[in-house]
């Protein structure tokens, strides 16, 4: 029945590349291969992409941070945007292909290469958002990261999100956005405490959400925290 339904849907809404409109897939091979990759991992403390920069934040450094591409890239942006705001779960196939590209074109070892045990924690959205969309894109991306990049990792769900004042993306970056994020996540008291965690999100802009989740994990006793985002928002 699933296949039949997909067939009907494909006939009514044929898949077209989000960038060039070519029929066949939500992202054609040439457009997928043109997405610019971030070739150097961001600063693990302030998430700056520049080699030489003033590390302004006094935040605790992550044990490693990886981002895939740039949110201003039209193709990557269209894929993430469609996944996030149009509940287009099928776009996960294309994001998984992008993750495979990241893996195959990476020159350096992953920062977590030496970790024997690592737990992947998606930066879950608010319950209202998940209800609206029918799925949580961070969870879907977390699963894809395990499948495509860290097959030995386990998936965990050890955070809960405190009700937020407004969805992050509706607020311009700045003090208000930071205030909105403060205390976003709580560690679930009954969850087992992993020694090493990889936090996964779709877009990392200021990094405040990811830092907040890292704080919750460290306070619970997690030793090492890594971060991963499909795209850098800056």
- Which listed range, 17-25, 140-148, 160-168, 205-213, lies at the site for Zn ion (CB under 5 A)? 17-25
Quick one: 10 or 29, whose CB is closer to Zn ion?
29
Question: CA-CA distance, 194 to 118, in Å (whole number)?
Answer: 8
Token representation of residue 115:
């970790």
CA-nearest of 83, 76, 92, 96 to 31 is 76
Give min distance, CB of 82 to Zn ion, in A. Answer: 14
Rg (C-alpha) for the chain, rounded Å, is 18
Strand order through the sheet with 196-204: 64-70, 224-232, 196-204, 119-122, 154-155
Question: CA-CA distance, 127 to 188, in Å (whole number)?
Answer: 15
Give min distance, CB of 92 to Zn ion, in A. Answer: 18
Give min distance, CB of 75 to Zn ion, in A. Answer: 8
Quick one: 59 or 171, whose CB is closer to Zn ion?
59
Binding mask 25-64 for Zn ion (x = CB under 5 A): ---x--x-----------x-xx-x------x---------
Phi and psi torsions of 233, nearest 5°: -80, -20
Does 24 interact with Zn ion (rule: CB under 5 A)? Answer: no
Binding site for Zn ion (CB under 5 A): 17, 19-20, 22, 28, 31, 43, 45-46, 48, 55
């Amino acid at each position: 029945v699933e296949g039949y339904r997909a067939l009907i849907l494909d006939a009514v809404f044929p898949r077209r590349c989000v960038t060039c409109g070519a029929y066949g897939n939500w992202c054609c091979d040439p457009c997928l291969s043109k997405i610019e990759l971030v070739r150097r991992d961001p600063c693990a403390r302030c998430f700056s992409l520049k080699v030489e920069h003033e590390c302004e934040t006094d935040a605790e450094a992550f044990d490693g941070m990886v981002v895939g591409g740039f949110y201003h890239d039209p193709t990557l942006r269209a894929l993430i945007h469609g996944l996030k705001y149009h509940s287009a779960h099928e776009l996960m196939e294309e994001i998984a292909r992008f993750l495979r590209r990241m893996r195959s074109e990476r020159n350096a070892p992953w920062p977590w290469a030496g970790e024997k045990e690592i737990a992947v924690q998606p930066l879950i959205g608010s319950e209202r958002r998940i209800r609206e969309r029918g799925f949580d894109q961070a969870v879907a991306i977390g699963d894809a990261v395990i499948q495509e990049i860290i097959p030995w990792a386990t998936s965990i769900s050890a955070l809960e999100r405190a009700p937020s004042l407004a969805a992050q993306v509706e607020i311009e970056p700045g003090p208000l956005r930071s205030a909105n994020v403060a205390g976003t996540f709580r560690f679930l008291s009954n969850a087992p405490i992993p020694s090493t965690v990889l936090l996964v999100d779709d877009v990392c802009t200021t990094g405040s959400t990811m830092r907040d989740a890292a704080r919750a994990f460290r306070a619970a006793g997690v030793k090492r925290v890594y971060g991963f985002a499909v795209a850098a928002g800056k």
